[in-house]
Amino acid sequence: MTNDASVTKRDAEIRRDELKAEDEVRALIPLQIELVKLQRHLIASGGKLLVIFEGRDAAGKDGTIKRFLEHLSPREARSVALPAPTDRDKTLWYFTRWVRHLPAATELVLFNRSWYNRAGVERVMGFCTHDELEAFMRSAPAFEQMLVDSGIHLIKYYLDVSKDEQAARLEDRRRDPLKQWKTSPLDAIAQEKWDDYSRARDEMLEQTHTKHAPWTIVRADHKHRAHMNIMRDLLSRLDYEGRDDSVLHADDSVVLPYPGGKPKHGLLVP
């Protein structure tokens, strides 16, 4: 027999979650309106915008990109998430796969991971050699300088989460039938090799943070807060017609410039 009290409690919890989600969607609308204004400006001016989202597994890259693109024209805005390289890809100049997807005039492109795979998962999992890693660290800043010189506006975000939050999100992926496409054999390794990923992250940020392509850090333990503040930060950096500065004040405890050097206690978030 079903316990009426437990059903009532569960229904109340579900409704609270629904109301919270509705509130979060409403809070995003002013920022998504600003994104539409930005896209209209890019189309009118022929601008080219590339945004790179890097970060730990389950840091919220997919959700952030989904919110960005939700109300934009798909003809001029898209996300790029490349699969593992083929045998042929491995014989090409390393950056070739991503060059194909760079924005043309009028376009906004969001990279869900990028060439920085080499400094992260490839390094930690032994998918590249030491020489290949060193060559990448030297080449990435020069490659990004070429992109900027070509007229591409390049913005780089690193989304970081705490170890406990990552574990909870990976478990949620495993249990949720709607998130099965996100699961990977590397999920468990993300926790096992937490410290290795931390060291790889620290060296990547330190060696590829430049004046022409700086890193911005996102403390992403709270997904909705991260989504909103990334939008605010990005929009506040760009000039476009009708910009409403009153909604573009990012929380600097969530989104902050990479400070340089090694983070305290080996972590970007507590």
**Res 1 pLDDT > 80:** no
CA distance 270 to 265: 9
Res 11: pLDDT: 59
Task: Could you list the beta-strand ranges (E) of the chain.
Answer: 48-55, 77-80, 108-112, 152-160, 215-219, 255-257
Given a contact cutoff of 8 angstroms between Cβ atoms, the answer to whether 224 and 18 are in contact is no
Given a contact cutoff of 8 angstroms between Cβ atoms, the answer to whether 254 and 160 are in contact is no
88-142 pLDDT per residue, tens:
999 999 999 999 999 999 999 999 999 999 999 999 999 999 999 999 999 999 9
Q: What is the mean pLDDT of residues 236-243?
A: 97
- Report the candidate in 135, 198, 134 with the shortest Cα–Cα distance to residue 166: 198
CA distance 25 to 79: 21
List domains and CATH numbers for the chain: 4-266 (3.40.50.300)
Given a contact cutoff of 8 angstroms between Cβ atoms, the answer to whether 66 and 231 are in contact is no
29-39 pLDDT per residue, tens:
999 999 999 99
Q: Which amino acid is at 58?
A: A
